[in-house]
Amino acid sequence: MTHWFHRNPLKATAPVSFNLYGVASSPAANKICNDLRTARARLLDAFTDATCTPEIMKKSSDEYFALLQGFILPLDGTTQENKLRFIQNFKWTDSLQGNIASAQQDAVFELVSMAFNVAIWYTKFASRLAGKENITEDEAKDVHKSLRIAAGIFKTLKETHIPRLITPAEKGRDLEPRVIDTYIVQIQAEAQEVTIARAIELKHNASLIAALSFETANFYQKADHTLNTLDPECSSKWKKYLQLKQHFYMAYAHCYHGQTLLAGDKCGEAIRSLQEAEKFYSRAEALCKEYRQTKGPGSTAKPSEQLFFKKLGTFIKNTLEKCQRENGFIYFHKVPAEAPALELKASYGLAEPTPFELPPLSAQCTPEVYATFDLTKGPKEDKAKAKHDEEIKPVKEPDLKPQKDTGCVVS
């Protein structure tokens, strides 16, 4: 299933030295700054390391976030803002906006930007793992788990941390609601794809597969509509991906609903449902071509080249022919003009985001050490306003090499 998922680029960032000169006036304070610089560099390296695992990513991100919170949480016994929150400038690009960076002199901006990248990494890890030949059941569970973790990170950033920013997120940038909501819904839909593939592999009840497919198609439609008011230059390709996945899973829903209807001796309605599946599948094929031809950020998925995609077309065709034969010999039902309504609700199998929690504050960040950071000493910069004139080189991501496609996500 290599190239089954569309992935936007990782955010890039300018180096941060955490050199606070005379401000860090004790060895312990200097050690925190040095450890922050080292932990940040280690985490950034992990994003592009093809051998990085979720365990390594969690360890690296926890180490950095535990230290970074020493610049965010109140450490002087009051509820006042941490005096170090606005001392360091941070610059980040966006996953949709190319190499032009935004800058904020705010440790919360650094927290949400880095955590955003951690979430994107989990989606990319899931995509690479899903692309393995003969993926095992445990690996499929890891794909599902990684996607839910990513959705949970995005959800927590949106609800808890992004509202704390002094400078609100600008329109069309990663931290604004439309973009982050689209990531959350897309990732939930992709996690449900793993569940659907598993249900098909184990030959679960057709009504369950139809309901899950319908719910997943609706997720993709919701994600697509969330991007409607975003600049087409940066969102058109992403939208085409969401649309093709919506139509693909609507085809699945109508196909398996047709099977359910046939099993209930409603052959005419089954035929009409399968004809509707054919329409959605044909539209999904057309959208695959449009998606490939649309310019925009991100890796180009190739769903129409996957056996999982091709198998559905064959399955719809064979099932429709079977229904038509049965109707000609046994049922003699009239085929309705309107397709049967999909009033389907999955009672289980829906993917929920995994709650995300930051690690505890580092033991190094004590009130005593905090007191040795003296803002009256050393050079201080004025609070930085958002800048858009500095270009940062994009992250060089590991190549996703195609592997032999076995036609299923789980086995």
> pLDDT at position 341, please?
78
> pLDDT at position 294, please?
92
> pLDDT at position 346, please?
66
> pLDDT at position 329, please?
67
**Interatomic CA distance for residues 360 and 374, integer angstroms:** 24
Tens digit of pLDDT for each residue in 119-143? 999 999 999 998 887 788 999 999 9
Residues 197 and 410 sit within 8 Å (Cβ to Cβ) = yes
- Report angle CA 73, 76, 77 to the nearest 5 degrees: 95
Token pair 């609601």 in the structure block, residue? 177
> pLDDT at position 388, please?
44
User: What is the residue type of 182?
Assistant: T
Tens digit of pLDDT for each residue in 184-196? 999 999 999 999 9
**Interatomic CA distance for residues 332 and 329, integer angstroms:** 7
Q: What is the DSSP-derived secondary structure letter of residue 92?
A: E
**Interatomic CA distance for residues 371 and 146, integer angstroms:** 39
Structure tokens at 162: 């992004």
Query: At how many degrees (to 10) do helices 177-201 and 137-156 cross?
Result: 160
Structure tokens at 375: 């803002």
Q: Are strands 90-92 and 102-104 parallel, antiparallel or unpaired?
A: antiparallel
Structure tokens at 2: 């290599």
**How many other C-beta atoms are found inside a 10 Å radius of the C-beta of residue 392?**
17
Tens digit of pLDDT for each residue in 368-395? 999 999 998 865 553 444 444 456 888 8
C-alpha R_g of the chain: 25
Altogether, the residues listed in the chain come to a count of 411
Strand partners, 104: 90
Token pair 């940038």 in the structure block, residue? 173
What is the enclosing helix (H) or strand (E) of 144?
A: helix 137-156
Torsion sign over Cα 120, 125, 126, 131: positive
Cα-to-chain-centroid distance, residue 293? 23
Which of 141, 132, 182, 177 shows the shortest CA–CA distance to 159? 177
Structure tokens at 67: 């230290």
Ranges under pLDDT 50 in the chain: 1, 382-389, 402-411
Structure tokens at 117: 């990248």
**Interatomic CA distance for residues 312 and 237, integer angstroms:** 24
Helix (H, G, I), strand (E, B) or coil at 386: coil
Structure tokens at 166: 């002094």
> pLDDT at position 411, please?
31
**Interatomic CA distance for residues 67 and 269, integer angstroms:** 61
Tens digit of pLDDT for each residue in 212-227? 999 999 999 999 999 9
Structure tokens at 48: 């592009």
**Interatomic CA distance for residues 193 and 220, integer angstroms:** 11
The torsion angles phi and psi of 163, rounded to 5 degrees, stand at -60, -15
Helix (H, G, I), strand (E, B) or coil at 330: helix
